[in-house]
């Protein structure tokens, strides 16, 4: 039975995905999946407006770090991970030193990191924002892009708002998704 613990692996910043890919390939090639079952790059989904279109991309919570579930005491696992291109070393160990084992993460730290990365498909800050009747918003997407308005009704279960938008000097009621608006501070 493998003695699996979570460790933080330092990688060259911006190359986390490449390092993760190298690790997964090498682990599979050497049939060590039982001793390194999981590699996680803590990231969040972020929606950005580009050229009037909403684009989703992932942004790393901790650039340059990868969470690794592994049994580092088994054979060559520790050495294998340290020799992957782009790996700087484990957090808690001195560089690529092969004589000092890194300190594993505490269970509450692991839960906090993994909870942050496994919130579900729609884990954006916009969808988790609470809207209140009477608040001012700016429309960020759709045919009313750029208009400002006032929230009249909030439908949390549907993630929709009824908003009054001023168009050509007249108040016009519009139904919008949470993703189409942002609060005006």
**pLDDT tens track of the chain, all 185 residues?**
568 999 999 999 889 999 999 999 999 999 999 999 999 988 877 777 777 677 788 878 788 999 999 998 888 899 999 899 999 988 876 655 555 788 888 888 888 777 754 444 444 444 556 888 999 999 888 888 888 999 999 988 888 899 999 888 888 899 998 888 888 87
Q: Domain check: are 110 and 151 in the same one?
A: no
Q: Domain check: are 21 and 98 in the same one?
A: yes
Closest CA to 183 of 125, 144, 116, 105: 125
Q: Domain check: are 19 and 64 in the same one?
A: yes
Q: Is residue 125 part of a domain?
A: no
Q: Domain check: are 107 and 178 in the same one?
A: no
Q: Domain check: are 145 and 172 in the same one?
A: yes
State the pLDDT at residue 43. 81
Q: Is residue 129 part of a domain?
A: no
Q: Domain check: are 11 and 90 in the same one?
A: yes
Burial annotation 56-79 (CB, 10 A radius, 16+ → b, else e):
eeeebebeebbbbbbbbeeeebbe
Q: Domain check: are 23 and 95 in the same one?
A: yes
d(CA 162, CA 150): 9
State the pLDDT at residue 98. 53
pTM of the model: 0.58
Q: Domain check: are 93 and 14 in the same one?
A: yes
Q: Is residue 124 part of a domain?
A: no
State the pLDDT at residue 118. 46
CB atoms within 10 A of CB 111: 12
Q: Domain check: are 30 and 110 in the same one?
A: yes
State the pLDDT at residue 67. 92
> 3-state DSSP: the chain helix, strand, coil percent, rounded to 5?
20, 35, 45
Q: Cα angle vertex 2, ends 17, 23, to 5°? A: 20
d(CA 116, CA 58): 13
Domain that holds residue 161: 136-183
Name the token pair of 7: 């460790």
d(CA 154, CA 81): 50
Q: Domain check: are 72 and 146 in the same one?
A: no
Bridge partners (DSSP) listed for residue 56: 47
DSSP string, 138-152: EE-SSTTTT-EEEEE
Q: Is residue 49 part of a domain?
A: yes
Beta pairing, strands 53-60 & 148-155: unpaired
Task: Quote the number of domains for the chain.
Answer: 2
Name the token pair of 118: 């496994």
- Contacts by residues 114-121 (CB-CB < 8 Å, ≥ 24 positions apart): 114/40, 114/67, 116/42, 116/44, 116/61, 117/40, 117/42, 117/43, 117/44, 117/61
């Amino acid at each position: 039975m493998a003695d699996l613990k979570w460790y933080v692996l330092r990688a060259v910043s911006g190359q986390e995905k490449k390092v993760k890919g190298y690790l997964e390939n090498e682990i599979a090639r050497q049939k060590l999946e039982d001793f390194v079952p999981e590699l996680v790059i803590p990231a969040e989904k972020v929606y950005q407006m580009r050229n009037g279109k909403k684009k989703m991309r992932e942004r790393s919570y901790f650039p340059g770090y990868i969470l690794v579930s592994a049994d580092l005491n088994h054979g060559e696992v520790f050495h294998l991970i340290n020799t992957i291109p782009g790996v700087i070393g484990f957090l808690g160990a001195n560089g690529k030193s092969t004589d000092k084992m890194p300190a594993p993460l505490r269970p509450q730290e692991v839960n906090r990191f993994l909870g942050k990365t496994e919130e579900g498909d729609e884990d954006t800050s916009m969808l988790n924002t609470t809207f209140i009747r009477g608040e001012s918003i700016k429309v960020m997407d759709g045919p009313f892009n750029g208009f400002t308005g006032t929230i009249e009704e909030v439908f949390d279960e549907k993630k929709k708002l009824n908003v009054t938008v001023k168009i050509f000097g007249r108040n016009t009621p519009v139904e919008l998704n949470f993703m189409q608006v942002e609060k005006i501070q």
